[in-house]
Amino acid sequence: MALSPCDQFFVDDLVQFEALMANGTLKRYAPVKALSLQQLVAENRNCAADGRRKVFLPTGLGAIDIAIAREVLELS
């Protein structure tokens, strides 16, 4: 998926995400805010209204992060 500067990024752990950006593990993306899974699903439902994609970036690649990302994709 190609990312654009107007896309909004949401993470499950803002502190961990900022640490990964600071040490260069992840490219810097902005704006970023931490949301609960329920808030994230609600935000994704509104993405067509404002024309911006809301992209979920799990900060880990564990099974739970992958499961959450799949659930968000299916619900949006």
Residue 3 in domain: no
Residue 22 has pLDDT above 70, yes or no: yes
Q: Band the pLDDT of 47: cuts 50, 70, 90.
A: low
Average pLDDT taken over every residue of the chain: 66
Q: How many domains does the chain have?
A: 1
Instruction: Kindly indicate the confidence band of residue 18, based on its pLDDT and cuts at 50, 70 and 90.
Output: confident
- Span 3-26, mean pLDDT? 68
Mean predicted confidence (pLDDT) in 56-76: 66
Does residue 1 lie in a domain region?
no
- In terms of residue numbers, what domain contains 40? 8-75
Q: Could you tell me if residue 42 is inside a domain?
A: yes
**Mean pLDDT, residues 68-73 taken together:** 69
Which of 7, 21, 13, 15 shows the shortest CA–CA distance to 61?
A: 13
Q: What string of H, E and C letters represents the secondary structure of the chain?
A: CCCCCCCEEEECCHHHHHHHHHCCCCCCCCCEEECCHHHHHHHHHCHHHHCCCEEEECCCCCHHHHHHHHHHHHHC
